[in-house]
Copies of this chain bind each other. A is one copy, B any other.
């Protein structure tokens, strides 16, 4: 509806009544009461903390919407190049506190809510996490959205609105059990349902060939089932800017068009139930991290998401009536891992089949538009889909993939003739039975740029999984963009005491938008008052965590002990197993000590947290072992509180915000070469926590920045891994003696029935110790000793802690986004023009 066509009186009404809501305390209180009475239909007689949260959230939401509208209006007007970040996961966590801080409302709202009879802490604590992700990949997407918003970039995220996010983890007898995550069961103020943004998505059917008016051979995809994608928009406010960008999540809805045969006599109710299930393809997030799941429903989710997103992007582009050749000048699409790789095929299909553009011209547009981020080199994580499955679900796409592959291999053959082995290695199609589509190959061929997520990882992909592509493309297509984290959530929000100290010390909040300014802290490293407050902040965070641990697990821990944390997905390659084996070693060492000896020992609380994929048997056994060890250790009075072991259940973003600021040391001990980057390492160090880590992922770059005095590194290096594995496989390498002792302890039944743990122990012995625990174990123990020694020197430790934070500027997601924007997407900031409502 064109504004210009509206009568004057209508415009006048909007002028009069559409005024901005103010941000002062009174305006908040007024809107709070209005939302309680109308949005929630409650009264002063029955408000609890949860409804106070809802009313506060709705008040903030109103203000976000204003910014969102102004941002979109500005972007429409300016119409410069936009970036679209396609991620199957966005692990946002909670939104209220983040929005209050980014919008600068926290003080006024905090004061206002108090007068209304609530505390902001209680209110914030009511929010359920938006947990639409498994781990690092999803949280990275969330941090990047925060940076894109803060830096005024015209950016959109596209994802799926899962009815059930990552499962809730609970413990029963020390085992993980999974519960559905009912995050949408109650009102979600942080999404804007767009009932008018509906996209039809087709599946199955068949492909037919025809000749168009101009005599060209064309293909049309016909028949099959149609689902509808409905958009839910999640506003992402930048910090200290009016800019408020959008994550558009798609939810599957039925299209009112059915397989009529289902609705037979008397089968009506059953048919409705079946229909509900068939329609609901966005119901569940696959709970797998760094592990491919080849289920048809997963492929349907991927195409559903990609098709709706591309339709939306193309529709927006076409509004500007620019020529198709301008598409890559207006649109950059980033593929977060291979999950959205079908977008490449879908865009080619749109251009060729629907828009009638010639193949080569279309393909040039496609490849200039896409860029691809690789997140792993683990072979089990590499996406490959059976050709017959794609053929059935997406018959036209399969044809296009074959054509893309054919034309690509023809070019290879031309450039490097007669190398059939190379062709087979580069081929998008894996020539097995059945054939498979290698999604990473398709992503590389369809993108103009491929990046890894840390320096080491970006080097490794060029030497391992994508080695052969270098032969054809050369090195320049492959680059590095080291991951980053947003300091707004991971320091300012999660660690308010430290944030306040930093702001006071540096004299402004500018560091929140320019993290390099943290370097300014170095000149205060010897300032007594500063150091005192630094230590106090850490201690208060540890007290907060100790309270949380008691509430969540019943275990009482001493806040003066060294807090040693490993929180992340449970994975063999991340080696939580090695950590707990080390704990057993420590425990049995402590047991052998005299009371006097133990008096000199640094007390330690070893904290674990993380979810295992529900089907990942070994990972779930690690959780059981941790809990079994914890049971024994925590109840053994003979070691006099010198060691506690805690497994915090249901690790998620909100829990991370409590854990991370409280750690003294955190462990990032993946087998060298397996962790692409890691980002929690950055979060810990930014909060003044030290790292105990292997020479892997971003640990290496963190070490470069903070200096090797301030980090505890150990273990074999990535280039040694192949040889070590070879030795395990073909020679009888003896198990490390300290490790063998620990294995013996477990097998002796010290931690309960040892038969339970046999499959786990087996990975070290008959399983050939693929993750090289034996090789790194002694080095690990030695470095742990070093940690203990260092911690005894509390002044030295504080200096390290300060120097850690001070050197973390590089790891802001702002830096990472700046690099993507400049070097891959070629986009510019577009500051929001504040305007009247109409």
Contacts and interface: CB of A to CB of B under 8 A. Distances in A.
Interface in A1-56: 1, 3, 6-7, 9-11, 13-14, 16-18, 29-30, 33-34, 37-39, 41, 43-48, 50-51
A266 interface: yes
A18 B38 contact: no
A210 interface: no
Interface string A173-184: 000011110100
Contact of A117 (B10, B33, B68): B10
A434 interface: no
5 contacts: A13-B29, A14-B44, A41-B65, A45-B73, A172-B260
A574 to B, nearest CB: 20
A414 interface: no
Nearest to A27: B17
B182 A254 contact: yes
A182 B279 CA distance: 12
A142 interface: no
A308 to B, nearest CB: 17
Contacts of A116: 10, 13
Most buried by B among A66, A167, A614: A614
Interface in A261-311: 263, 265-269, 272-273, 275-277, 280, 283-284, 286-287, 295, 297
Contacts of A355: none
* Closest 9 A/B residue pairs (Cβ): A266-B615, A41-B192, A268-B614, A17-B33, A38-B62, A17-B30, A10-B117, A41-B65, A265-B615
A38 B13 contact: no
A428 to B, nearest CB: 28
A13 B273 contact: no
A277 B172 CA distance: 25
Interface in A301-354: none
A193 interface: yes
Nearest to A117: B10
Contacts of A43: 69, 73, 837-838
Contacts of A178: 263, 268
Given A41-B192, A178-B268, A277-B277, 10 more contacts: A1-B45, A1-B48, A17-B29, A18-B37, A44-B838, A51-B196, A177-B260, A177-B263, A182-B254, A273-B277
A485 to B, nearest CB: 29
B272 A44 contact: no
A432 interface: no
Interface in A554-575: none
Contacts of A38: 58, 61-62, 65
Given A38-B61, A187-B195, A10 B115 contact: yes
Contact of A258 (B58, B179, B254, B295): B179
A436 to B, nearest CB: 21
A479 to B, nearest CB: 36
A3 B117 CA distance: 11
A776 to B, nearest CB: 29
Contacts of A115: 9-10, 13
A254 B187 contact: no
A678 B287 CA distance: 55
Given A37-B66, A38-B65, A196-B46, A614 B187 contact: no
A297 B269 CA distance: 10
A407 interface: no
A186 interface: yes
